[in-house]
Every structure is written in structure tokens, then in C-alpha cells.
Structure 1
Amino acid sequence: MPHFRSGQVDIAYQDEGAGDPVLLIHGFASSREVNWVGPGWVKTLLDAGYRVISFDHRGHGASGKPHAPEDYNTARMAEDAARLLDHVGVGRADVIGYSMGARVGAFMALLFPDKVRSLVLGGLGIHLVDGVGLPQSIADAMEAPSLADVGDPMGQMFRKFADANGQDLKALAACIRGSRQELSREEVGRIFQPVLVAVGTRDAVAGDAHALAALLPNGEALDIPNRDHNPAVGDKIFKQGVLEFLRQRP
């Protein structure tokens, strides 16, 4: 993949297709390949006629991996996304984020509003304002000697996921510790773009989609039936809902 420099960190990205640009922002311990290519999102959007821009977060995939928590402030990660659009010559894009990527997308909509045409918050509901992301125990799980040493069930899930994807565990621990920023209800109320909040009905991580959508001036909720946090990513109802949302937004 090509890379560009965002501050002091190299960011790996991919830019494919033509048409209206869509920026994909993946979740914690994942990558563009795991979050968007494998589950068929890139193909779905390309087939629908969109230009698809995706990247690996700092600390993930093929991007640079700093080990200092302060390098993972959510605003800084949103700046990576905004700089990528500048780098590929895109002034404004529809933004689709999942889990941590949805939090980054929400910060992007606030900090760089002219760059966000519409926003999809996948795998993130009311915990955008009522929580600071994944618990600190996830960082402890990343730093444990092995998966067998992790007792917390959520920590086990994410450590297993990180191990399977060959991630840098120290970078992921720093990411958890550094990206613990939330938005206030007043700040969410300033996100004026059309927003789709899509959460699995069995998702114990995200928080309620409808409660968050109600705080957004142009928000709507989409339930992804019978899906937990990770399996909801590639769900066909999620994809269909996003395509319909993109067709209807101004």
C-alpha cells in the first residue's frame, strides 16, 4: 500500500474506484483489510459506484506504531483521517467508521466539518457520550504474557483478535490508554451532517443506537438484528442500510 506522513507517523492507505468518495475508518485492533476488505465492504461500495478510501490507523496494520499513549488522542487520529483526504485530493467525503473508527469519525465531523458529507457510526451508540471507549482492562490484556494470562472476558476477546491479526500489542495498549476521549451531549448536538447510527442488537460494547441518534440533529438509528459487536461488521442488513442512507443523503 502507499503511505503518507501525518505528523511524525506513516499512514498506510488505499484509494480505489471513482465516483463520490467514501472514507472507511476501522476499529481497534483491526485494519482496513480485516474491517473492510475481508467482510466485503470495499467490493460492495465499489460495485455501487463509489470511490473508496481506506487506511490503517496509527498503531495498526501497515501504519507506523508509536508506543506513547499521547500519540493516540482521538482528535489526533481524526486529524490523520482529514490529512488523508487532503493527500488524495478529496475535499469532502462520506465517512463510515466502526467502533473506535466511529468515535474517530464523530471527532472528525466536529473538528473538520467541511470534510464530512455524511457519517455512519457503526458499532457505537450512546457510549460515544457515556463512555470513553473500551475499558482500561483491554490495555492490560494486550500487555499480558499470553492469552492464557488474560482473565477478563472482553480482554480475552480483543487479545485473541489482536493475536490473530499479528498486531503490535504495545501499540494497541498505548492506543487504549491514549484514546479515552468522549463527546458531550452538547458537542454531539453540533454534528449537523446526516448520521446513521448502526449497532447490533446483541452488542454489549456500543451502547444504544437510538439514544445516540436522538441527540443528533440529523440522526437515525439502524438495528443490526441478532449481531454482537464484531460479527455485525459484515452483516448484509448493515451494508444495505448504509447504501440506502448514502442514496438518500443530500
Structure 2
Amino acid sequence: MDLNAPSFQTFRHDGLDLSFFDKGDPAGPPVLLIHGFASSALVNWVFPGWLKTLGDAGYRVIALDNRGHGRSAKPHDPALYHPPAMAADARALLDHLGINSATLMGYSMGARISAFLARETPERVRALVLGGLGIGMVEGVGDWDPIADALLAPSLEEVSHERGRMFRAFADQTRSDRQALAACISTSRDLLSVEDMGRIAAPTLVAVGTRDDIGGSPQALAALMPNATALDIPNRDHMLAVGDRVFKAAVLAFLEQHAGH
């Protein structure tokens, strides 16, 4: 099996056709990967080597394209992108595959979606890896309205906002539906409360790059949770931390302990 080029399947949930892959060892402990904003299962998990890393370690590796992203349906209604709705997509994928519980690993927006899923249906979550999002989960990640404006601008040249330029260039590079992404960014940043985080009892690894100016402190978020540890991903920003070797080694050690091998 070529873990570098997974075949995708489709399932239907909430009136949307959603795309996913299911690779690795079918008998291994399941790990469900949930990608970040403006990314996709391929960009977040295949190209940086996570599918190969986890597959080689004996895990069943499942990843979906979130609504609005990748090969999944791309509605333009902002009301459809609140985190509970996106968490329900991930839970529906587990149902579709007949999986009672899995380890969830999310990056950035995917970490938020994973936390919402763990809060709402803790029995479905064996363990959590929250990448690229620390205390920003609770306190917010700054003003992202300029990113929606950047996504809808006629061209990159007309965008002056630095973070907006970064995400607009990324969206152009991945040939994304920019109107769907603008809808998503406007409603997908709902916060979890201190009390919400305190109720998530699953073993959790919170990992954020030391040069990440978006996610916030992993230590501050982990301190709110009863069974969480924090990891600084050295010298990595928000975009580069996801494929980092230190991050991968820490995740493999964490999964060995908590994912049910």
C-alpha cells in the first residue's frame, strides 16, 4: 500500500458530501486526524508525513476534509461552520466506519473541533492531541476578520494585512474555495470556557510552536485540563510546526501510552 497517495472515499452527513481516507493498519488503534483552517487532509497530514509516520507505527489512520475544505462540500453559509457542526461531521465519520472511540488529533482549527467533540461526547475519545492551539482555545486568537476580507479580495496584491496575506496566499496555493473559507473563518472560532476544558478528562497532549503567534501558550491550556501535558515545538511557527520531528516523536510516545496499542 502506498501511504503517500491515499485514495479518498465519501460519506454524507448533515446534507453534505464529505471526503475522507482510511489507511494504515485496519486492525490498529484508530487515530482520527482533523486538519486546520484553509488546509486539507492531504496538506495537513499526508504531505508532512503524518500518514506514513502513524501508519508505520501500526495505527489505523483516518482523516477527513472538513466541510468547506479539500474534496468535501463547500457551502457558503457561515451558519454551517460553527465548531459543534464540524465536530458532528467527525463523529459521523466514526459512526460511518463503525468505530466506537478513537484518538483525535487536530491542528489549529482541527484542535478546536477535536476539543468540542471531546466535550460533547467524551465516550468517543480515547486521547487527544491538540496541535497549534493553546490557551487561544479559551482566550481567542486575535482579530481574524481581516482574513475573511483578504480571502474575498480581488487579488493578493490588494491585501496589506500580514496574516491576511499569509492565509490568502495559502488559499490560492491550495486552490481553495475562498468564499467557503471566508464563511468558515467568520463562525468557526467559537471559544471553549475554562469550565469546558476542565471537563475534558481524556489524556491530552497540547503542542504549539515556540514561534507561533496564533495559538497561545500550550502550558496555560494544559493547566486547565485534568490529564494534559504541554509540548513546546522548538523554533517553529504556526505553519511549520505541523510536520516537525520533535512534534512527531512526542506524539508517537504519547500514543504508545494512551491510544490503546
TM-score bucket (shorter structure)? over 0.9
CA shift digits 1:154-182 (9 cap, x unpaired): 00000000100000000000001121310
Q: Which residue of 2 aligns with 1:26?
A: 35
Q: Which residue of 2 aligns with 1:54?
A: 63
The answer to whether the aligner puts 1:3 opposite 2:25 as a matched pair is no
Q: Which residue of 2 aligns with 1:208?
A: 217
Distance 2:117 2:61 in 1: 18
Task: List aligned pairs for 1:103-122, cutoff 5 A.
Answer: 103-122=112-131
The TM-score normalised by the length of structure 2 is: 0.94
Counterpart pick for 1:165 among 129, 154, 174: 174
Q: CA deviation at 1:124?
A: 0.2
Task: List aligned pairs for 1:71-220, cutoff 5 A.
Answer: 71-131=80-140, 135-220=144-229
Q: Which residue of 2 aligns with 1:16?
A: 23
**Unpaired segments of 5 or more residues in structure 2?**
1-7
The TM-score normalised by the length of structure 1 is: 0.98
Please, what is the CA RMSD of the aligned residues? 1.0
* 201 and 107 in structure 1: CA distance in 2 versus 1, 3 angstrom threshold: same
Question: What secondary structure, in the 3-state scheme, does the structure 1 residue paired with 2:223 have?
Answer: helix
Question: What secondary structure, in the 3-state scheme, does the structure 2 residue paired with 1:215 have?
Answer: coil
Count of equivalent residues: 250
CA shift digits 1:35-86 (9 cap, x unpaired): 0000000000000000001010000000000000000010000000000000
Distance 1:23 1:41 in 2: 12
Distance 2:53 2:177 in 1: 29
The residue identity in structure 2 corresponding to 1:10 is D
Contact 1:133 1:180 in 2 (8 A): no
Task: List aligned pairs for 1:27-46, cutoff 5 A.
Answer: 27-46=36-55
Q: CA deviation at 1:133?
A: 7.1
4+ runs deviating over 3 angstroms: none
Distance 1:211 1:33 in 2: 30
Contact 2:105 2:111 in 1 (8 A): yes
Distance 2:93 2:214 in 1: 28
Q: CA deviation at 1:132?
A: 5.9
Query: What percent identity do the matched residue pairs reach?
Result: 59
The residue identity in structure 1 corresponding to 2:157 is A
**Unpaired segments of 5 or more residues in structure 1?**
none
